[in-house]
A and B are shown apart, each in its own frame.
Chain A
């Protein structure tokens, strides 16, 4: 399968600071990348869809100004959690796909802890 790399795997930050998470497709060009949030023992909750070179589409209830998504190239999308608060602590996962594919391939996830 295709390889997607997410970095960092875990991060601890202070409340009020911003954190950037990177998602890279290593062996294919991803026309679309997705960002999810996952709570313990639950399924994935889609936050936003990002297409290369255009603005991300956010799911209902997701704050655009808090979760900034940039998809500047066909192999890289970033999620920046701005002014992080403890309630933003979670497991964030990206996936990537491309036109013509029905599957998506996932990164390893990032465990964010805001203290």
Chain B
């Protein structure tokens, strides 16, 4: 059973298109992180969302945490080839508290942006 369902698993789009990646769970998380990973490298933290309903923006990336803190989304506007990579959502503190970095990961979304 996957505790964090991430979708879609694969996304292939043209430069300039918009896209949204979803991360859903039946559990409540204290916080949720989004990471981006390039081949042969470790994941890099993009953002942490903590408050239900919170929206954070990072240039063309918009992250949202659901009101009930069970789901999150990542929206990319006008995707560029440089956005290509594996995007991972990860939750901390399932059902409250904190896991002190022991994250629950989604399956990942492989995004390919074609020029």
Which A residues form the contact surface with B (CB < 8 A)? 1, 4, 6, 31-32, 34, 41-44, 46, 49, 91, 93, 95-109, 111
Decide if B105 is an interface residue (CB 8 Å cutoff).
yes
On whether the beta carbons of B100 and A103 are closer than 8 Å, the reply is no
If A102-B50, A107-B42, A108-B41 touch, whether A41 touches B102 (CB-CB below 8 Å) is no
| CA–CA, A100 and B103, complex, Å | 14
Contact partner, B100, options A1, A32, A91, A108, Cβ 8 Å: A32
On whether the beta carbons of B42 and A31 are closer than 8 Å, the reply is no
- Closest residue of chain A to B86, judged by CB? A41
Decide if B7 is an interface residue (CB 8 Å cutoff).
no
Nearest CB of B to A103, in Å: 6
On whether the beta carbons of B102 and A44 are closer than 8 Å, the reply is no
Count A-B pairs with CB separation below 8 Å: 75
If A44-B88, A102-B92 touch, whether A93 touches B42 (CB-CB below 8 Å) is yes
If A42-B107, A42-B108, A44-B88 touch, whether A106 touches B43 (CB-CB below 8 Å) is yes
| CA–CA, A96 and B98, complex, Å | 15
Cβ contacts under 8 Å, B33 to chain A? 102-103
On whether the beta carbons of A109 and B40 are closer than 8 Å, the reply is yes
Nearest CB of B to A15, in Å: 23
| CA–CA, A98 and B108, complex, Å | 25
On whether the beta carbons of B102 and A46 are closer than 8 Å, the reply is yes
- Closest residue of chain A to B99, judged by CB? A102
Contact partner, A1, options B45, B98, B110, Cβ 8 Å: B45
Contact partner, A34, options B41, B102, B108, Cβ 8 Å: B102
Cβ contacts under 8 Å, A95 to chain B? 42, 101, 103
Interface residues of B in 23-47 (CB under 8 A from A): 30-31, 33, 35, 40-45
What are 11 A-to-B residue pairs whose CB atoms are below 8 Å? Answer: A4-B42, A42-B108, A43-B106, A43-B107, A49-B102, A93-B42, A102-B48, A102-B92, A102-B99, A102-B101, A108-B42
